[in-house]
Amino acid sequence: MSLFDNTTIFRRQFFAAGGLCLLLLSGGCQVKPLYATDSQTDAALKSIEFSEATTRIELEVRNQLIFLTSGGAGEPANPEYDVELTIATRNIGVLLETSTDTPRAGRMVLKADFTLKKRSTGEVLKTGRRSSVALVDFSEQEFAKIRATRDAENRAARELAELIRADLASWLGR
C-alpha cells in the first residue's frame, strides 16, 4: 500500500511540475493573428520602394507587391525602406508524351531573392528567398500553350508576391 501511495504522490508532483513549466514557457509567448497588422506595420509596409523590374514576370511580382503593401495607393513619395528583388523563372515539363516528345503538363517555378534595406543608412535588415509553383496544362495549339504558360507565370507571380509581403510584414512587425 505504501508503494501505491508513493507512486500516486510522485505522479501528482510530476504533472504539477510539468504544468508549471508549460505555464512559464508559454508566459513569454505573444499570440496574435497571423495576418493581423497593427498601424505601425501598415505604415512601414506603405513606406517600401521596390527595385525596378527587368522582365515581365519581375514586373508582375513588383506590381502585386506594390498593391499588397500600399493597399492600392501606389508607390510611396518618401520611402523609408528599399527592397531589391531578383526573380528566376523555370518552366519544367512534367508529363511527356513519349511518341511525340511533347509536354502535356508542366510546372512554372519562380524563385525570388529579396533584400530589405533601410534607405537612410543602407543597412540590410532582412534577406530572404521564396519560391512558388504553378501547374500548367499544355494544349496542342500553339497560342493556347503560350497563353497557358503566361497564366501560370501570373499565378505564380501573385503567390510569390503574397509570400514576400508576409515575410516583410512579419519582420517589420517586430
Are 5 and 82 in the same domain? no
My answer on whether 5 and 90 are in the same domain is no
Letter for the amino acid at 40? Q
User: Taking 60 as the threshold, does the pLDDT of residue 2 lie above it?
Assistant: no
pLDDT: which is higher, 40 or 150: 150
13-17 average pLDDT score: 80
72 versus 8: the higher-pLDDT residue is 72
The pLDDT, as a whole number, for residue 35 is 58
On whether both 47 and 20 belong to a single domain, the answer is no
Q: Assign residue 117 the CATH number of its domain.
A: 3.30.160.150
pLDDT for 162 equals 96
Same domain, 69 and 92: yes
Residues 129 and 155 in one domain: yes
Q: Is the pLDDT of residue 15 over 90?
A: no
Please give the average per-residue pLDDT across 41-54, as a whole number. 91
Residue 34 confidence (pLDDT): 56
Q: How many domains does the chain have?
A: 2
Residues 40 and 27 in one domain: no
- Which segments of 47-123 does DSSP mark as H helices, in order? 56-70
CA atoms of 79 and 85, how far apart (whole Å): 16
Asked if 17 and 56 sit in the same domain, the reply is no
Q: What is the pLDDT of residues 76-111, one digit of tens each?
A: 889 999 999 999 999 887 776 767 767 788 899 999
Are residues 63 and 45 part of one domain? yes
Angle CA 166–161–130, to nearest 5: 75
Q: Say what the pLDDT of residue 139 is.
A: 83
Region of 30 please: left (phi>0), alpha (psi -120 to 50) or beta.
beta
The answer to whether residues 9 and 43 belong to one domain is no
Q: Do 98 and 130 have their domain in common?
A: yes
**Does 162 lie in the same domain as 85?**
yes
Residue 136 pLDDT grade (very low, low, confident, very high; cuts 50, 70, 90): very high
Mean predicted confidence (pLDDT) in 40-58: 92
Q: How many CB atoms are closer than 10 A to CB 160?
A: 26
Structural domain boundaries, residue 152: 34-172
Q: Residue 134's pLDDT band (boundaries 50, 70, 90)?
A: very high
DSSP conformation class of 2: H
Percent of the chain with pLDDT over 90: 52
User: Taking 70 as the threshold, does the pLDDT of residue 29 lie above it?
Assistant: no
Say yes or no: 92 and 153 in one domain.
yes
